[in-house]
Amino acid sequence: MSENQRVMQLLEDISEKVAALRRELGGVEPASSEALLAEMDLETGMMGDVAETAVIPPMTVGEEIVGGEETEAFPDCCAVGNDSGYYCTGTLIAPNLVVTAQHCESATRVFLKGASIHEPENGETIRVDRLCFHPEVDLMVLVLAENATVLPRHVAQGDEVYGAKTAVAAGFGTIDLDGRVGYGLKRQVEVPL
């Protein structure tokens, strides 16, 4: 199974768990984040049998996504950081859960909705209550202290994903490989799968 197929299988497994939670709860409720976390082993960061079926492969050198066009879309795309500043990007996947990279481990807050961290009045800043790490890959879930006011990212289902040749990536990253220029403005770029 190729790396892309493993990632697609992981997304499908997560989508099935989210759909089951929605059916169980009668729709998306603030408690759905807690229900999702209840299935997660907080020591290992793994969720039920999802972690047994697929693991997201680590990125290798040269797979960085740099650049893109400025955008105000993707309100669920958030800058991740602490009181000293922002340094990572994450995605809101439930009302109070953000998925990001584990190397962003000193995260204490996220910035959502806005297109620039330099204009905080145009966005929403929420404190991080807890961090849940994945034991094997650079993946982490941030539990927010309160629910965000934006809708979480829809996780693509089967037919929405299979056969796709490209995807749109969004983030607050830099526009140069040295990581020195442009951080803090939300950008989007189409990438091959």
- Among 55-64, 113-122, 167-176, where is mean pLDDT lowest? 55-64
Higher per-residue pLDDT: 149 or 165:
149
Structure tokens at 167: 């995807």
Mean pLDDT of the chain: 76
Check pLDDT > 80 for residue 15. no
Helix (H) or strand (E) holding 159: helix 158-161
Check pLDDT > 90 for residue 35. no
Residues 112 and 100 sit within 8 Å (Cβ to Cβ): no
Residue 113 belongs to domain with CATH number = 2.40.10.10
- Among 5-14, 55-64, 98-107, 183-192, where is mean pLDDT lowest? 55-64
Higher per-residue pLDDT: 74 or 40:
74
Cα–chain center distance at 9? 17
Split into its structural domains, the chain has a count of: 1
Percent of the chain with pLDDT over 90: 41
Separation CA 177–CA 51 (nearest Å): 32
Check pLDDT > 90 for residue 130. yes
Per-residue confidence at 68, pLDDT binned at 50, 70, 90? confident
Separation CA 172–CA 126 (nearest Å): 17
Domain that holds residue 152: 3-192
- Among 30-39, 98-107, 127-136, 174-183, where is mean pLDDT lowest? 30-39
Give the chain's end-to-end CA distance (angstroms, integer).
Answer: 15
- Among 49-58, 60-69, 171-180, 184-193, where is mean pLDDT lowest? 49-58
What is the gyration radius of the CA atoms in the chain, in angstroms?
16
Separation CA 135–CA 126 (nearest Å): 26
